Amino acid sequence: MRWHATTILSVRREGSVALGGDGQVTLGNQIMKADAAKVRRLAEGRVLAGFAGSAADGFALLERFEAKLKDHPNNVPRAAIELAKQWRTDRALRRLEAMLIVADDRHSLLLSGSGDVIQPTDGILAVGSGGAYALAAARALLSHTDLPPGRVVREALTIAAGIDIYTNESLIVEELP
């Protein structure tokens, strides 16, 4: 599925993780908002989450994920699996058009409506219309620089914004040590 909604990127390096996203909201071929916040801190700031896709659907998923975190405190993988199971089996949730990336101090996970809960081998996750560009830029930056995760996310999203018309440079980047 190709989202024309935003770009979300997570990078993990040397015990730290950063998650960021741009702020562009489009409706068809029009930019409706340039500074939307699609990245949030959850669980009293211990978990980062960001979404690509429909804004209403993304916010609904963030709320449900936060509820799963309350049911399974300090267990992000379990909360993610429980949300993915519910998302896939519930008739109303199955229609939601968004994807989530969540991260805590130990795990980075991508969640989708088809039941996917994916943890990357290289510590990099990207979704959204500019996701492939941000992913490629992040991999190159990690291979050829010593930049910390937050800087890698910011630079990679800026590169994606220069290529993808649905991604802008109004960035929110959150980090966990």
- Neighbour-count burial for 24-56, b at 16+ CB within 10 Å, e otherwise: bbbeeeeeeeeebebbbebbeeebbbbbbbbbe
Q: Which of 6, 89, 158, 167 is catalytic?
A: 6
User: Active-site residue 158, yes or no?
Assistant: no
Question: What is the DSSP secondary structure assignment for residue 43, as one 8-state letter?
Answer: T
Q: Which residues contact 89 (CB under 8 A, 6 or more apart)?
A: none
Name residue 11's amino acid: V
- Tell me the C-alpha distance between 176 and 82, whole Å: 23
> Which residues form the catalytic set?
6
